[in-house]
Amino acid sequence: MTNPEDLAVFDAAHKGTLAERMGIEFVEASAERVVARMPVEGNTQPYGLLHGGASVVLAETLGSVGAAIHAGPERIAVGIEINATHHRSATSGHVTGVATRLHGGRTLASYEVKVTDEQGRLVCTSRITCILRDQ
């Protein structure tokens, strides 16, 4: 489990960013696994369904945070590839994203991200690869 003070650092680092505007809240964060939740309300398309792009924003945020932790404080992680499969819609409540590291090397880090609804049903599966480089 991640220290609550560390989670506050992640939330503060995302002030004024897209992640903050989307309402993403970090729950757990390490190089191996990052968990966050996001409200469906405010992140929908015109039919009232969670926008697929919102799921991708959540996935990219989680994978990038995991890769940045893996890279360490002297380096940065920059997303170079992401894909997503949308399995079902969500219309209310929150969705939760869980990013699990697939590969953590010296120059690349890849994560699988599963986004689920409040009933634990799979909404989206995504994979993100980040390049790790000096600042």
Instruction: For 40-121, list the strands marked E by DSSP.
Output: 75-86, 94-104, 108-116
The residue from 60, 74, 81, 118 that is catalytic is 60
Is 60 a residue of the active site? yes
Q: Is 40 exposed, middle or buried (0-12, 13-18, 19+ CB in 10 A)?
A: buried
Task: Tokens for 122, please give them.
Answer: 């799979």
- Which residues are marked as active site? 60
